[in-house]
Structure 1
Amino acid sequence: MSYRDEDYHAYSGVNFTELSGTDFSEYTSEDLKKLWRKTLKSGMHGICFSMYEDGQEPGDIITVEQVERRVKILKPYSKWIRSFSCIEGNEHIARISHKHGIKTMVGAWLSDNKEDNEREIEGLIALAKEGCVNIAAVGNEVLYRNDLSLQELLEYMTRVKEALSGLDIPVGYVDAYYEFSVHPELVEISDVILSNCYPYWEGCHIDGSLSHMQQMFGQATDAAKGKKVIITETGWPSEGGSLRGALSSEENAMKYFINTQLWAKKSNIEVFYFSSFDESWKTGDEGDVGAFWGLWDKHEKLKF
């Protein structure tokens, strides 16, 4: 979730609408499912790892066995896996992905809990020194949630960069695409710009969603001043309601996935799709749609 009305900054820079997407007007429901499956089987750059089974939630300790089972499910489909935390079993994701030859973007989850932040930062540094981290992400939407000040965040990022000096591991911070326009200090300290881009959360109709996501990427690219931009999250929920023009449905979830993957491959854009598995616990701030962002359902079965 990465949009607030008061934080939206309209972008009038370079037009990044490079691909209009697939014309689905003649597709039957079965045609759409076939194309979705074909697109998935052709492989993704990256996928966001969904940690929790039905009945689990953050704070629960997750076993190696559970993580390995899910990593094995994702392995045939994705070159990279992104994790969000380095404690409570989340540290297994980087190690097991590395064991299976999958590259990792490993996140330290930062919040207003300074004790947990210490554990997260030390965990990220340790995993990197083990050789299990290909990109280090120091925090996720911390500024969006107002959990830390910009200065506090920059201090954590500096600490990780200094600890990983000489290891050739890019360090960045994940947030909504517009935060990098608002805070040039983030661009300056980052080795790579890690941008979340969600047309759904901006109420965009599915027909304009690919174009809108390209504009989001364009704004982050403009702010990056030549540094590499990676889309660290983008996706569409398969059920759960709507937000202005954005409707949650199986059809729209398939269309968005297909178009995103097509554009990413043709334009050589690195995208981590959100998300791998449905997670029932994610119904707080996001409402009922929060539980339905996965390509796989909560029982680890492909949806379509």
Structure 2
Amino acid sequence: MKFLSYVSALATATYCCSAQAFYGLNFGIDQNNCPPVSHYVDEFKHIQPYTNRVRSYTMGVCNEGALALEAAHTVGMNIYLGMWVDRPETFDSEFGALKALVASGASFDNVDAIIVGSEVIYRKDATADMLASYIRQVRDLVNPLGVKVTTSEVFYDFSPPIVEAADFLMMNAFPYWEAVPIQDAAATLFEHYDSVVGLAQGKDVKISETGWPSAGSNFGASIASPENQRTYVRNVLCEARKRGVDVLYFSAKDETYKSGVEASFGIMDGNYNLKAPITMQDLNQPC
């Protein structure tokens, strides 16, 4: 019995640690306390039981692009490298950091894409033509390396210039912030996904951000709770697998340096523990 129990436990552990519950997970850093590369390596190792793919948000701030890429190579993960864009000077700075990274000879073989900006149009930080120009500049730099380029935008902000400039589309949608009740939330997400597919001119569409908080203020009919977070992540994973949709879930762990509900979107808590009542079975067998 002891031998059988040992074999069973070993099989369970192996399944756990090799499971790819998520296509990918978003992660963030406290930009007021820039972390060293060892932080990224440690975080990525804690993320690996759930996915082998992460997404960052800036190239230049805290030297995140270079450090995250180095850490991803160290632990053997794929990565989407983000570029933060909120005004022309910011793009210039981020583009300079990317050019320096390319010039350094760093390998981009594990980079799934460069994401030029996150919700730039939603925040009105650039026009569609400006963002399209940024995307094309980055494409000219990294397409020869075999790296694709896109942007991450709210589902209703894709206009033809952006669609035409990007290699594929990445959309954000948070039914929580639309005051949608939990029982309708996943269906609402995929309605938004279908609307972007209709605008994509035949290009691939991925979901770059979606999630549900486990704590914090409610937003209309959207209730922040551990139970609703579990329901949302299960329903999203189930539908994504049925339809073959790639979802970068937001986020890997609670970002405790943020305030209010924004701090509670992680599937793990601040100490990298999977947040109850979510279980590995929920993530690996959500349907």
Smaller-chain TM-score range?
A: 0.7 to 0.9
Q: Contact 1:125/1:164 (CA < 8 Å) preserved in 2?
A: no
Counterpart of 1:149 (choices 127, 136, 139) is: 127
- 1:222 and 1:254, CA in 2 relative to 1: closer, same or farther beyond 3 A? same
- Corresponding pairs, count: 254
Q: Which runs of 5+ in 2 are unaligned?
A: 1-15, 277-287
Alignment of 1:19-34 (within 5 A): none
For 2:12, the equivalent position in structure 1 comes to none
Q: TM-score, normalised by structure 2?
A: 0.83
Structure 2 residue 92 is the aligned partner of structure 1 residue 138: no
In the TM superposition, residue 235 of structure 1 has moved relative to its aligned partner by 0.4
RMSD: 1.9
Q: Deviations over 1:43-83 (max 9, x none)?
A: 2110001323xxxxx24322111111101101121021111
In the TM superposition, residue 265 of structure 1 has moved relative to its aligned partner by 1.5
- 1:126 and 1:46, CA in 2 relative to 1: closer, same or farther beyond 3 A? farther
Counterpart of 1:111 (choices 86, 98, 101) is: 86
Give 4+ residue runs of structure 1 displaced > 6 Å after superposition. none
For 1:215, the equivalent position in structure 2 comes to 191
Structure 2 residue 280 is the aligned partner of structure 1 residue 302: no
Q: Which runs of 5+ in 1 are unaligned?
A: 1-37, 53-57
In the TM superposition, residue 140 of structure 1 has moved relative to its aligned partner by 0.6
Q: Contact 2:131/2:162 (CA < 8 Å) preserved in 1?
A: no
Q: Contact 1:94/1:127 (CA < 8 Å) preserved in 2?
A: no
**Bigger helix share:** 2
Give the Cα separation in 1 of the matches to 2:160 and 2:146: 23
Structure 2 residue 264 is the aligned partner of structure 1 residue 292: yes
Question: Residue type matched to 2:82 in 1?
Answer: G
Give the Cα separation in 2 of the matches to 1:279 and 1:113: 28
For 2:56, the equivalent position in structure 1 comes to 83
3-state secondary structure, aligned to 2:143:
coil
For 1:202, the equivalent position in structure 2 comes to 178
In the TM superposition, residue 289 of structure 1 has moved relative to its aligned partner by 0.8
In the TM superposition, residue 89 of structure 1 has moved relative to its aligned partner by 3.7
Report which structure shows greater RCO (CA 8 Å, sep ≥6). 1
For 1:27, the equivalent position in structure 2 comes to none
Give the Cα separation in 2 of the matches to 1:104 and 1:119: 21
Q: Deviations over 1:144-203 (max 9, x none)?
A: 1122233322221111011123222111111101111xx111101110101012111111
Give the Cα separation in 1 of the matches to 2:206 and 2:91: 24
For 2:72, the equivalent position in structure 1 comes to 97
Q: Deviations over 1:18-46 (max 9, x none)?
A: xxxxxxxxxxxxxxxxxxxx8x9552110
In the TM superposition, residue 281 of structure 1 has moved relative to its aligned partner by 3.1
